[in-house]
Amino acid sequence: MSVWRFADGIAPVAPEFRLTLGEGNTPLLPSRSIGPQLGLNNLWFKLETTHPSGSYKDRFAAVAISDMLANGKRSCLATSSGNTGSALAAYCALAGIQCRVAIVEKTPLGKLLQMQAYGAELVRIRNFGTDADVTERVFERLTFLSQQSGTALQISGFRYSPTGMSGVRTIGYEILEQLPSPPQHVFCPGGGGGLTLAVAQAFEFLNERHKQALGVRVHCVQPVGNSTIAGPLREGAERANDVACTTAISGLQVPSIIDGHEVIRAVRRCGGTGFEVEDEQVWQLQLRLAREEGIFCEPAGAVALAGALTAASQNEIDANSTIVCLVTGSGFKDSPSLQRMAGTECPIRELDDLGW
């Protein structure tokens, strides 16, 4: 199984160049605890944590690097706060392509080590990921460097890498296959907005294929400290905004707009909106997902659920609606959050003092 079984719904790549590590076909599981406790009887989790490199970005990388092979590109330049870089590094290793990544300054160590394990060359850029001006200048610099012969720029946003991002649409295609009927709501965490846009595009494509509206509302959820898209959506604005990023949620520290304007238009077309959530709520739900649902995710993977619960508390969704939350990355991605969840250190005792 791979994203290529949906080849007619993503950017075209000739079959002989299609790479796969078995990405896609991720589980969609019903909530057994959190949803029922709150009266949300049709709450579902799409577990993107099960991908080969541990996040949904493998869908992006599989198509992006396959397209590079098809076009004779042998050097990949990229930016990342962790998951994009890990995915690209994995597929570059598979393809025998050089991978160089400019890294967000506050990227967790676990993500850095994963990229390096795959053989990627990394440089962390000071203030990249928190300062919108620095972030935009990084993109401009890499765009210039990518003009070298044989080099391609891969940034996980439609603005920069539309071919690769088309692979992310397969999340929407799978959701429709896995449920007996279309969901009413899909909640997506947002950094630069590409994930939300890809999912919204998937349902638009399926609307056209089925010759009828499926009625799926796609929502963009962002931390309050990086609300480039969710805030403007709530306020009725037509355009996204640059911000000074203050969130500590790794992976969602994207203070510049990237796909924000297009996300606002796509979300509005399907009847969705934006939700802003606090970092503390995200950390609490990361812990609850682990201890009540058995779902092991990084903080960014709990952001969609935070948005869904916010919507429910504000009576913006019907309790009987079918609701899907995207759980985007593995808990192993962010070791500081694991230490926060674990709390105390594991004690060492003599066997005779086990005490259980």
Q: How far apart are the C-alpha atoms of 14 and 324, rounded to whole Å?
A: 32
| Mean pLDDT for the stretch of residues 125-153 | 91
Looking at the predicted structure, is the pLDDT value of residue 230 above 80? yes
Q: Is 236 helix (H, G, I), strand (E, B) or coil?
A: coil
The answer to whether the CB of 80 falls within 8 A of the CB of 30 is no
Winning range, highest mean pLDDT, from 26-30, 110-114, 208-212: 26-30
pLDDT confidence of 231, banded at 50, 70, 90?
very high
Strands of the 274-277 sheet, one edge to the other: 28-30, 43-47, 323-327, 185-189, 217-223, 274-277
Placement of tokens 């005490």 in the chain: 355
The pLDDT value recorded for residue 208 is: 94
**Mean pLDDT value across residues 176-187:** 97
pLDDT band at 335 (very low <50, low <70, confident <90, very high): confident
All structural domains of the chain, each given as residue ranges with its CATH number in brackets, are 3-55+168-340 (3.40.50.1100), 57-164 (3.40.50.1100)
Per-residue pLDDT tens digits for 101-115: 999 888 888 899 999
What predicted TM-score, i.e. pTM, was given to this entire model?
0.95
When pLDDT is averaged across residues 182-200 and rounded to a whole number, the result is 97
The CA-CA-CA angle for residues 275, 224, 184, to 5°, reads 15
For the packed helices 83-95 and 109-117, what is the interaxial angle rounded to 10 degrees?
10
